Amino acid sequence: MRFWRELVVVVAIAAAGACTTSTTEPPGDDGGDDATACDNSYLTYDNFGEPFVENWCRSCHSSEVPHDMRQTAPDDVNFDDLDDVKAFADRIAFRVGEQRTMPPAGGPSDDERALVVEWIGCGAK
């Protein structure tokens, strides 16, 4: 857990002035600076997305979790790999970043939530 917190601090510092996108508008749609910011975003599935999903999502959203242990997560909403995450990317950004209803028991800091929105808004690479 310490590694994760240290990574978040490093990511938050490096993200200062980086991609800040709304969960309702894809980056670059308004002709603004979001496209450039996303070009400079260092967030990837390997260095951010997978650790975040593993830490905050897969205890309920994994095909390996039995139905009775999913805390009401739908059986067909799994984040086992990048393709799964991309299939639900807009929903993840909305529920984690804007609604803040995921994970249901609290969880990520405001900075971590902002990074999820950035990573997804910049293409969830």
Reading the chain (125 residues) residue by residue, the pLDDT tens digits are 444 444 443 344 344 334 444 444 444 444 455 667 898 999 999 999 999 999 999 999 999 999 999 999 999 999 999 999 999 999 999 999 999 999 998 899 999 999 999 999 999 99
Q: Look up residue 82 and give its two tokens.
A: 């990048």
Measured distance CA(108)–CA(112) in Å, rounded: 6
Structural domain boundaries, residue 116: 2-121
Residue carrying the six token digits 């799964």: 84
DSSP secondary structure letters along 35-47 = HHHHHH----III
Question: Using alpha carbons only, how large is the chain's radius of gyration in Å?
Answer: 14
Domain total for the chain? 1
Rounded to whole angstroms, the Cα distance separating 64 from 66 reads 6
User: pTM of the full predicted structure?
Assistant: 0.72
